[in-house]
Amino acid sequence: MSLDTLLLYALASTALALTPGPTMLLALSNGIAGGMRRAAWGIAGASLGSSVLIAVVALGLGSLLAASEWLFQALRIGGVLYLVWLGLKLWRAAPPDVRAALQDAPAQATQGRIALLRSLGVALSNPKAVLFFAAFLPQFIDTRQAQGPQYLVLGAVFVAIDTCVMLAYAGAGTQAVRWLSRRSLQAMNRGCAVGMWALAATLAFWRRPGG
C-alpha cells in the first residue's frame, strides 16, 4: 500500500468521522451526563463496533474484489454516488438540536459497561458506517499484496481517527454544550457536505492500487 493511497483513505475516514452522527451525539451525551470516564467506555464500544464491521468486510469482500474488475467498478461508482447523496443530505439538513437530544440522557448515572454496550449497538446499527466500509475499504487494497495486513492497517487508521473525533465531542460535552450552537452545527454540516463532494470527485477518477 502506497503512502498516497493511505493519505487519501485517511482523508475519507476523517470526513466520515467529522460528520455529526449517532455515535458522536452519544459521546457528547456521555461526556455531559457522566464525564470522561463514562464517555471513554462508550467510545470503546463504538470503536469495537467499527472494528467488527471492518472485519466482516475484510472477510467477505476482499477475495471477491481481487478476482472481479466489474464488481470493483460497481462499488467505486456506488461509492461516488453515495458520497454525492450524503453531501446533498448534509447540505439540506436542518442542524440537529443538541440541547433537546441531551435532555434524553438518563437521570441516574449509567455504569461504564452499559455505556459500552449502548455505543456498540449504535455503531453496529449505523447504515452509514456499513455502506462506507463496504464501498470504500476494498478500493484502497493492493490486490498484489497480502490483503489481511492491509485491512488491519486501514481498520486501525479509521478507528484511531474516529476515536479522536469522539474524544473531542466528549471533551466539549464535559465543558459546555453551548459551544455547539445550531448555527455552528449547520456550518459543520455544510462543510462536511463540501468535503463529501470533493471526495466523490476524487474517487470518480481513482484507480485501485495494482489496477
Query: Does 210 fall in a domain?
Result: no
Q: What is the spatial distance between Cα 12 and Cα 141, in angstroms, rounded to a whole number?
A: 14
Quick: pLDDT tens for 62-118. 556 556 677 777 767 877 887 788 778 778 877 655 555 555 555 444 467 788 887
Query: Does 59 fall in a domain?
Result: yes
Q: What is the spatial distance between Cα 133 and Cα 66, in angstroms, rounded to a whole number?
A: 16
3-state secondary structure (DSSP) of residue 2? coil
Is the model's pLDDT at 162 over the cut of 60? Answer: yes
What is the torsion angle, in degrees rounded to the nearest 10, for the CA atoms of residue 128, residue 168, residue 89 and residue 72?
-40
Task: Please give the tally of structural domains in the chain.
Answer: 1
Is the model's pLDDT at 21 over the cut of 80? Answer: no
List the domain range (segments joined by +) for residue 164: 3-204
Query: Does 150 fall in a domain?
Result: yes
Quick: pLDDT tens for 144-158. 888 788 889 999 999
What is the end-to-end Cα distance of the chain in Å, rounded?
Answer: 13
Query: Does 209 fall in a domain?
Result: no
83, 199 contact by CB (below 8 A): yes
Q: What is the spatial distance between Cα 179 and Cα 185, in angstroms, rounded to a whole number?
A: 10
Q: What is the spatial distance between Cα 65 and Cα 143, in angstroms, rounded to a whole number?
A: 8
Query: What is the rounded average pLDDT for all residues in the chain?
Result: 75
Q: What is the DSSP letter of 118?
A: H
Looking at residue 48, its amino acid is L
Q: What is the spatial distance between Cα 148 and Cα 57, in angstroms, rounded to a whole number?
A: 11
Query: Does 211 fall in a domain?
Result: no
Query: Does 147 fall in a domain?
Result: yes
pTM to 2 decimal places? 0.66
